[in-house]
A = this chain, B = another copy of it.
């Protein structure tokens, strides 16, 4: 007996579904920092991500309209990724989270020194 609840329960739920996942936050953050990044560059930035995961994650972000994918029909291939306007709207939030994270990491360090 399966329940199909593909709809978000509320807007918090909705938003978390769009930026959850291991790499999405970081990809958006890098794209904000670098403005435009090619596939290979993203791959290096996200140390050790597999090509499958990178492609998959990028496609999800694209279909959620958070990033743009621009293909140049050249050989060797060239594909550029950048934030959409909607994606850019998430940056303040990611930045907030980043600062919060920094603070917590700092706190943890302090505590480990005490012990």
A residues sitting closer than 8 Å to B (CB atoms) are 3, 5, 8-16, 18-22, 25-26, 29, 47-48, 86, 89-90, 92-94, 96-102, 104-105
Copy number in the complex reads 2
Q: Which residue of B lies closest to A64 (CB)?
A: B104
Minimum CB–CB distance from A6 to chain B (whole Å) comes to 13
The answer on a CB contact under 8 Å between A100 and B105 is: no
The answer on a CB contact under 8 Å between B97 and A93 is: yes
Decide yes or no: A26 and B11 within 8 Å by CB, A93-B93, A97-B93, A104-B86 being known contacts.
no
Contact of A29 among B12, B22, B98, B102 (CB under 8 A): B12
Q: For the complex, would chain A's binding face be called helix, strand, loop or mixed by DSSP majority?
A: helix
Minimum CB–CB distance from A11 to chain B (whole Å) comes to 3
Q: List 10 A-B contacts (CB under 8 A).
A: A10-B98, A10-B101, A11-B97, A12-B25, A12-B26, A12-B97, A14-B105, A16-B25, A89-B100, A96-B96
The answer on a CB contact under 8 Å between B11 and A101 is: yes
Minimum CB–CB distance from A109 to chain B (whole Å) comes to 12
The answer on a CB contact under 8 Å between B98 and A15 is: yes
